[in-house]
Copies of this chain bind each other. A is one copy, B any other.
Amino acid sequence: MRDQLAAYCVPIEAAEYRRTEPDDRRFDDFLIPFDRWEGSAPMLALLGVPQDEGVRRNGGRIGAAEAPPAIRQALGKLAASIGSRSLPDNVRVLDCGVLAVENMSLEDVHRRQEHVVGLLLDSGASVVVLGGGHDTALPDGRAIGKRATRLGIVNVDAHLDVRPPAIEGSHSGSPFRELIEDPACRLGMLIEFGTQPFSASAHHVRYVLERGHAVWMLGDIRRDTLDVALDRVVDALDACDAVHLSLDMDALASAYAPGVSAPASDGFRPDEVARIVERIAALPTCRLVDIVEVNPRYDADGRTVRLAAYFAAVALWTFAHRTRCR
């Protein structure tokens, strides 16, 4: 594992900051860079994918390639506790840094990402992936789907991302169409969650529905209350033996997440997204959470980076507590 990661990944330095108390535990104390990882197979892993070529192909504004190191550094500084409960001392997260992508085509990046995520899943880890454009979800979905009998995906997003690939190939608007149409991915249930009015084309909604998948509009989720909607999502995922949660940060109102490739008019609040991550990542079948489309170039004083780090912390925290219960 360690050798393989050394061939494909580059470590991220932790941020520098001051700590004066030994009991002041941060996520940095639990994130172990792959080049210092010892011993057994990881239960938890973190991987960054620093590319925005898929965004460029989709006509979007680039910058998402800069997100993974920024999110990783913000995550490391967070206190590793909720109230008086700390992350247990024996928790260790294999920090894979960022995928090495220099001078590689997007197709090669996707293949490398699928390979590394596959390695991590095969070793038994539950994985948090930091994008990158939303095409990050394509190799993620392939890696987990090829290891499942029936894959469930929850895409938390203002958009659907089921456009056809472009002439150049995959892009940030096409991952879920490609996953639907690739039988090797064994996609049993795609749940589009938080789609916004006037942000998705009707024929794309029909495309999703006609294939037996689901579209939850933001307004419907709120009318039912989020917890009721999540109950139904969890029910719908019951028949899946693997679950992939994909969180596009433009699912949040741009007041909360200004630094994204394609900001939406309305959207979820931070507490709503935290609740979604908690519920889905708590499923024993959920082995993969990706957090994508953060664009630091358009951020406001690190607000979106910090929020993405918070959701990564919620995912890791939930994975860690679920793991301990087994």
Contact = CB atoms under 8 A, between A and B. Distances in A.
Interface of A: 17-18, 20-21, 23-25, 27, 59, 78-86, 163-164, 166, 195, 197-203, 205-206, 209, 215, 217-219, 222, 253-256, 258, 263, 265-266, 269-271, 274, 298, 300-303, 306-307, 309-310, 313-314, 317
A187 to B, nearest CB: 20
Contacts of A205: 81, 83-84
A302 B271 CA distance: 24
B266 A202 contact: no
B83 A166 contact: no
Given A84-B202, A202-B86, A274-B266, A256 B258 contact: no
B206 A263 contact: no
A300 B27 CA distance: 30
B85 A306 contact: no
A74 B92 CA distance: 46
B20 A83 contact: no
Given A255-B303, A263-B301, A198 B20 contact: no
Contact of A254 (B197, B222, B269, B303): B303
Given A83-B195, A84-B209, A266-B271, 19 more contacts: A17-B59, A25-B202, A79-B198, A79-B200, A80-B198, A80-B202, A81-B197, A82-B197, A83-B215, A197-B310, A198-B317, A222-B271, A253-B269, A253-B270, A254-B303, A255-B303, A258-B301, A263-B301, A263-B303
A314 B217 CA distance: 15
B265 A306 contact: yes
Contact of A84 (B206, B253, B314): B206
A163 B253 CA distance: 34
Given A253-B270, A266-B271, A298-B301, A81 B163 contact: no
A258 B300 contact: yes
Nearest to A255: B255
A37 to B, nearest CB: 23
Contacts of A163: 20-21
A266 B270 contact: yes
B78 A198 contact: yes
A271 B85 contact: no
14 contacts: A18-B59, A23-B201, A27-B198, A79-B198, A81-B198, A81-B201, A82-B197, A83-B197, A253-B269, A255-B303, A258-B300, A258-B301, A263-B303, A266-B274
A265 B272 CA distance: 13
A17 B81 CA distance: 46
A61 B17 CA distance: 12
Contacts of A269: 253, 266
A55 B198 CA distance: 31
For the complex of A and B, list the 10 residue pairs with the smallest distance between their C-beta atoms, beginning with the closest: A81-B202, A265-B310, A23-B203, A78-B198, A255-B255, A266-B270, A86-B202, A84-B205, A82-B197, A18-B59
A315 to B, nearest CB: 12
